[in-house]
Structure formats: C-alpha cells, structure tokens
Amino acid sequence: METVEKSFDVIIVGAGTGGTTAARFTAKKGLNVCLIDRKPRGDIGDKICGDAVGNEIFDMLKINHPRNEELSCYIKGAKLYSPNHKKCITLLDPKQAGYIVNRLEFGQRLLNEALDAGVKQFLDKTMVLDLLYKNGTVNGIQVKLNNGEKVKLNAKIVIDASGFYSPLRKKVKSTLIEKNILKEDSILCYREIVKFSPSDQEVQDPEYITIILDQEKAPGGYIWYFPKNESSLNIGIGTFMDYQGKVKDLYKTNVYHEFIKTSNVDILSSGGGVVPVRRPLWSCADNGFMLIGDAACQVNPLHGGGIDPSMRAGYHAANSAVHALENNDYSIDELWDYNYNVMTSFGAEFASLDLLRIVLQSLSNEDLNFGLERDLLSGEEILEISSKGGLNLSIVNMAVKAIKGISHPNLLLDLNYLRIRMNEISKLYKNFPKNFDQFSDWKEKVVEIYDKINRMIIKTKKSK
Ligand SMILES: Cc1cc2nc3c(=O)[nH]c(=O)nc-3n(C[C@H](O)[C@H](O)[C@H](O)COP(=O)(O)OP(=O)(O)OC[C@H]3O[C@@H](n4cnc5c(N)ncnc54)[C@H](O)[C@@H]3O)c2cc1C
C-alpha cells in the first residue's frame, strides 16, 4: 500500500455522483484534496438506481454529456399514468429530456475525471468511521484503511457525500444538522434490470420513462418502467418505509408479472435501496463541514431523482470550500453561502415539491384518478411545478378547474390550498437568510407552512 498522507485542505467522503463532482471542482482550483470510498475502485458508480438523468446538469457544469458505453439510451420525456391507466400525461420539455445511463460506466467516468483534475489522494476500500473535532469545528475524520489500520486524517474542510446512510451526519456535535431522517420522509425501493429477446417482447415507449401512480400497488411511491435499450428495462417500485411486507414481493407481483410477458429473461441486476424524499436538511453545513447529495436529503421529493442535485451540490460545496480557503475561515458563517446557494436554487423547488409529495401520498386512488382524468393538474402545470416548484393559475383557469372538480369540491379546495402553500414556501426558500443569525426566524416560518399542510390533511381525513 502507498504511504497515506494525513493532512489536506479538503477531504471528501464518498465517490458517488456528488463526491466526485465536489472532488473535481475543488481539485481543479488547486486545493489539496483527498477522496475516499469504501468500495473498490472498479465498483465505484455501481448503484441500485433508476439510471435516469436530465440534460441540464452537464451544460451547467460544462462537462461531457453521457456517451458511448456510459449511455444506455436517450429520453425525450416522461409519461405519467393514473392508477386506473385511463389517463396518461406526457411530459415533454427539452430541459427534462435526458439519458438512461449505465450507472457503473457513468460513475467510473466521473471518478476518472475527478482524479484527472488533480485529486491528491484517492483511498478506495477505506471505511470512514467518525468525525474529528477541534474547538467545536470539524477538522478531520477517522478511517479504517484497506489493511485494517485505523488512522486519523486531518482537513480544513470535510465534505460528506456518503449517501443516505451517512455515518458522519449521526456524529455531528451541533444541533444545527438533523442526525436522523424520519421514516415517512424516505422511500424504500426495489428494482431489476431485465433483459429479454426483442422477438419475445417489445419495449413500450422506448423514448420515455414511464411512471405509474398507484396507492394500492405502490403505497406512498410509484412504479417505474424505464427503457435501457431495445431489449432491456430498468423496472422498479418505491413504497413507504414502514410497508408491512417485503418490497421485493410487492415488486414481483405488481411490476415484474405486470410488465414481463416472456419467461426467456435474464435479470442483469437486482436490489433495493432507500431515497430521502423531503426538503434538504435544515442546514447542509456546520463548522468545517458540508453535506451533499443523499447525505443532505438533496433529492427531488416528487420523483426521487438525486443524481442531478447531488452534482449541483458538489459544485456549490466546492466553490464554498475554495472561498473558505482563500479567507482562511472554515466557520459556519463562512460556509453559510453553500446553504444559501442550495436553498435559493433547487432547495426552493424541493421544499415546494415536498409539500406536494406529502399531499399526494395522502390521496386515494379514486382521488388520483379523478384529479388526473379531469386535468385538475395538466401536463403543463405538472412541468411548471416540477421545474419551478410552484404554479401560478389565472382566475379563468381556476374557474375551469372549479367546474371540472365540482363533484369533488374538497379535493379541489385542498389542491388550491396546497398550490398557495407551495408558492409561499418556494418564496421563503428563495429568500433564505444570507446570514446564519437570521436562520431561526426563517425556520419558524417554514415550520408554520408544514403545520398548515399537515392540519389540512388531518382535516380532510376526518371529513371522509
Ligand atoms: C432504487 C433507486 C432508484 C433511483 N433512481 C434514480 C434515477 O433514476 N435518477 C436519479 O437521478 N436518481 C435516482 N435515485 C437516487 C440517486 O441514486 C441518488 O440520489 C444519488 O446517487 C446520490 O448520489 P450521492 O453522491 O449523494 O450518494 P451515493 O451515490 O449513494 O454515493 C455515496 C458513496 O459513499 C460511499 N460510502 C458510504 N458510506 C461510506 C463510508 N462509511 N466510508 C466510505 N465511503 C462510504 C458509497 O460507497 C458510495 O460510493 C435512485 C435511488 C434509488 C435507491
């Protein structure tokens, strides 16, 4: 084993999509960077995932779009089905179009580009165990190396990109960062990549990702059917974390047997995982410390897409680390601009979509069928909500909806109340305090909005 250096400007824990992006942009600016992952180098990127990623992030970061062996297929848009399959909303937006990737090849490319950008030390097969503190500020980590030796590594800044089960978030000493993620804010998933002969079965809608809402077949989540190429699919299911059964059984009955019509199949990959589906952590930074990606709950609460936001967060965290080093200040006050950049951009969108997610999870199949069939939310509106995290309806539009929703007045009223709260929270996030000292007032206002939505759900349930 090569000699392990022990002191860095920045240590990044986790070489997934978030960590490799943070590593690339910190190393590119000449910082002395250490990147660590518990997996062997050749397995980095191999993750149980739906494998879908939009175009936009590659343009934003000015990095190569997926191509060659990384690219499974191009996607034009999404098709969203009501539970009874009678309504299909096609979501077509050039900004939402993108790719289905080969996750391993994609991850390997991101890793190689980060290392080429000048990462000083890359430690694979290395388990990160704990945070080190000096005078209330994170100043390093404890790791177990490949040879079993436990060592301390020091850094001015530690970036945690270790995913949903982050071992470090639980070790943070201040109360600013939540240590545990509530079960109701996470989705349990199971998926397979299934290959068959094109002569036995055709891939439906090969240019679209298909999502089916169904509270009975996928309680609290959805079923997905994503093409990979003319003879393989990535199909899966997401459900509430406290689902009282095996998610794999749910998948077999409601997804596999539903979509796979031939017995001549190869299962190329299978497995489960958990996605956080809530707004980002209250604070994604602390003294000497930043969290990015799943570790910071930076996943789109509506569809569970986390590749794009983890890369955005990696970029923002890298910029904040560079400024902090220039100013020789690693305090939360200095790193607050990372929070500011996250919350005022995709954080605003995710907070708003989180409210929508909470309400959608409380609806019955009957409500979903009714709302989607009557266009109480149209395709354009869903796109507007998912790209901006909010929706502005004209009075005419509202009147049309009132007529369409006349037989379900409570649903219409709830959706309108939700729309107002979504716009409110989005505005609040876009006005995220520039300084830490105004944070607690801001937080109270966000909590009030969540309380309002929860009260609305309780009231609606009681009235049924
Ligand atoms: C079933 C499923 C389907 C999904 N589908 C999609 C989709 O289609 N599109 C999309 O955009 N998103 C999807 N997501 C979400 C997406 O996969 C994640 O949001 C994204 O990978 C987050 O990246 P990350 O860098 O934060 O974490 P990860 O990719 O999870 O990377 C974390 C890294 O940290 C390492 N690590 C963890 N603990 C330690 C430790 N103690 N020491 C050292 N290293 C450690 C891990 O080995 C891993 O390499 C899906 C998720 C699931 C579970």
CA dist 79 and 381 (Å) reads 14
Short-list 224, 159, 181, CA closest to 354: 181
The yes-or-no verdict on residue 400 having pLDDT over 70 is no
Q: Which residue's alpha carbon is at the smallest distance from atom 12 of ligand 1? A: 305
Write down the pLDDT at residue 222.
93
Query: pTM of this prediction?
Result: 0.95
The atom of ligand 1 lying closest to the CA of 128 is: 42
pLDDT digits (tens, 9 = 90+) for 320-331: 999 999 999 999
pLDDT digits (tens, 9 = 90+) for 94-119: 666 899 999 999 999 999 999 999 99
The atom of ligand 1 lying closest to the CA of 308 is: 11
Distance 122 CA to ligand 1 centre (A): 19
Ligand 1 pocket check for 16: Cβ under 6 Å: yes
Contacts for 363 with CB less than 8 Å, ≥ 6 apart: 215, 371, 411
- Provide the mean pLDDT of the chain: 92
CA dist 50 and 365 (Å) reads 24
Q: Which residue's alpha carbon is at the smallest distance from atom 1 of ligand 1? A: 49
163 contacts 307 by C-beta, under 8 angstroms: no
Distances in Å between the Cα of 408 and the Cα atoms of 147, 208, 323, 382, 414 are: 64, 31, 53, 20, 10
Write down the pLDDT at residue 438.
93
Ligand 1 pocket check for 228: Cβ under 6 Å: no
For the chain, percent of residues with pLDDT exceeding 70: 94
Write down the pLDDT at residue 381.
77
The yes-or-no verdict on residue 398 having pLDDT over 80 is no
Count of beta carbons in the 10 Å neighbourhood of residue 205: 15
Q: Which residue's alpha carbon is at the smallest distance from atom 15 of ligand 1? A: 306
Short-list 91, 140, 117, 97, CA closest to 27: 117
The yes-or-no verdict on residue 29 having pLDDT over 70 is yes
Confidence band of 175 (pLDDT split at 50, 70, 90): very high
Distance 444 CA to ligand 1 centre (A): 31
Write down the pLDDT at residue 137.
97
Write down the pLDDT at residue 415.
84
Best probe residue, ligand 1, of 310, 315, 342 (max atoms within 8 Å of C-beta)? 310
Write down the pLDDT at residue 91.
82
Q: Which residue's alpha carbon is at the smallest distance from atom 26 of ligand 1? A: 293
Ligand 1 pocket check for 55: Cβ under 6 Å: no
CA dist 133 and 290 (Å) reads 14
The yes-or-no verdict on residue 184 having pLDDT over 90 is yes
Ligand 1 pocket check for 306: Cβ under 6 Å: yes
pLDDT digits (tens, 9 = 90+) for 209-234: 999 999 999 999 999 999 999 999 99
Distance 112 CA to ligand 1 centre (A): 18
Distance 416 CA to ligand 1 centre (A): 35
Three-state helix/strand/coil letters over the chain: CCCCCCEEEEEEECCCHHHHHHHHHHHHCCCCEEEECCCCHHHCCCCCCCCEEECHHHHHHCCCCCCHHHEEEEECEEEEECCCCCCEEEEECCCCCEEEECHHHHHHHHHHHHHHCCCCEEECCCEEEEEEEECCEEEEEEEECCCCCEEEEEEEEEEECCCCCCCCHHHCCCCCCCCCCCHHHEEEEEEEEEEECCCCCCCCCCCEEEEECCCCCCCCCCEEEEEEECCEEEEEEEEECCCCCCHHHHHHHHHHHHHCCCCCEEEEEEEEEEEECCCCCCCCEECCEEECHHHHCCCCCCCCCCHHHHHHHHHHHHHHHHHHHHHCCCCHHHHHHHHHHHHHHHHHHHHHHHHHHHHHHHCCHHHHHHHHHCCCCCHHHHHHHHHHCCCCCCHHHHHHHHHHCCCCHHHHHHHHHHHHHHHHHHHHHHCCCCCHHHHHHHHHHHHHHHHHHHHHHHHHHHHC
Ligand 1 pocket check for 15: Cβ under 6 Å: yes
pLDDT digits (tens, 9 = 90+) for 314-361: 999 999 999 999 999 999 999 999 999 999 999 999 999 999 899 989
Write down the pLDDT at residue 90.
86
pLDDT digits (tens, 9 = 90+) for 122-163: 999 999 999 999 999 999 999 999 999 999 999 999 999 999
The atom of ligand 1 lying closest to the CA of 191 is: 1
